[in-house]
Amino acid sequence: MDERYFSVPLHVKVAQGYAVSQDYPKAVRVTLRGEGEKIYPILVEDITAYADLTRHKSEGVYKIPVKITKKGTASAVESLEIKVEPQEIKFIMERVIEKRVKVVPTLHGLPAHGYELGDFSVTPPTVVLKGPRSQVEKIKKVATKEINLSGRKEDYTTVVQLERQNPYINFVDENSVQFHATISEVVLLKTVDGIDLISIDLKSNLRLANPLPKGSIQIQGSQLLIESLRQSQFRLIVDCSKVETAGRENLPVKPEVPEGIIVLSYEPKEIALNFIEESAAKKIEEIKKRGIKRE
């Protein structure tokens, strides 16, 4: 008499509306004992191991014997002894319930420099789970598989699988969702100081009595655009075209900025300037020069 050993999958039968809720051996060890020329031709798939819980109709812990059935090459062998290990297995059986839970996307990476993630959504926003009562009750949400947003510069839509973290729980309908994200340029607010005030269209017979001061501008624009600009690209303009005679004038100031930039505020908005005749300005310069020479 010879012996032969191998493992076969364990099949578990439960009553309708119930399920096993904890781990149990998924395979059992089978020992065949008989005449060598008869037991070695037996195919593994012709030996089936099973545990039958169908007669139990309530939740509980049950010890169930493992049984063996033969077919094909195994059923034709006479004087075949079959031993199975373990001979008995403990099962925890519970009612099968369903529950609707929220889907949460698993995001990885960041959009490209100068861009940011705005609104995002999953469709459908919830899914229905089905499984043993205690396992389903403790689940509050379901995560998607990883969604990579690295380096993206525009809106993104994809279909993504749901993570199945518990082998006893199944998705009733969908096992995937559609993910949509809005990706837009980052908008910055910035104050630019030390801006030059520039006078334009001043009559040729007039001159400013004093140098113009510096100003500041508060701007809004995309991060990439603002980072590419220089201070010299911003100006505050004083239009002197309506000044006809020497004297003191209060004139409005207007900002001049690159295309794509929004001006939120600026200072000064108005400036008091003293204007003098060109001839008088030259006399003042002559007097200053003589004073320097005398020194």
The hierarchical CATH code for the domain 102-185 is: 2.170.120.40
Percent of the chain with pLDDT over 90: 76
> Sorting pLDDT into bands at 50, 70 and 90, what band is 163?
very high
From CA 115, how far away is CA 149, in angstroms rounded?
11
- Asked if residue 290 has pLDDT above 70, the reply is no
Model confidence pTM above 0.75: no
Residue from 263, 179, 198, 255 nearest 226 by CA: 263
Percent of the chain with pLDDT over 70: 95
Which residue did the predictor score with more confidence, 204 or 295? 204
The residues spanned by each domain of the chain are 2-86, 102-185, 187-294
Its CATH class, for the domain covering 187-294, is mainly beta
Question: How many other C-beta atoms can be found within 10 angstroms of the C-beta atom of residue 132?
Answer: 22
Q: What is the pLDDT of residue 285?
A: 67
Tokens of 274: 């003293």
How much is the average pLDDT of 269-275? Answer: 94
- Asked if residue 295 has pLDDT above 60, the reply is no
Q: What are phi and psi of 39, to 5 degrees?
A: -85, -30
* SS3 (DSSP) at 5: strand
Question: How many other C-beta atoms can be found within 10 angstroms of the C-beta atom of residue 73?
Answer: 16
> Sorting pLDDT into bands at 50, 70 and 90, what band is 180?
very high
Q: What is the pLDDT of residue 250?
A: 95
Instruction: Identify the architecture of domain 2-86 in CATH.
Output: Beta Complex (2.170)
How much is the average pLDDT of 256-262? Answer: 95
How much is the average pLDDT of 118-131? Answer: 96
- Least confident interval from 74-88, 143-157, 280-294: 280-294
Mean pLDDT estimate for the chain = 92
> Sorting pLDDT into bands at 50, 70 and 90, what band is 39?
confident
Tell me if 102-185 shares its fold with 187-294: yes
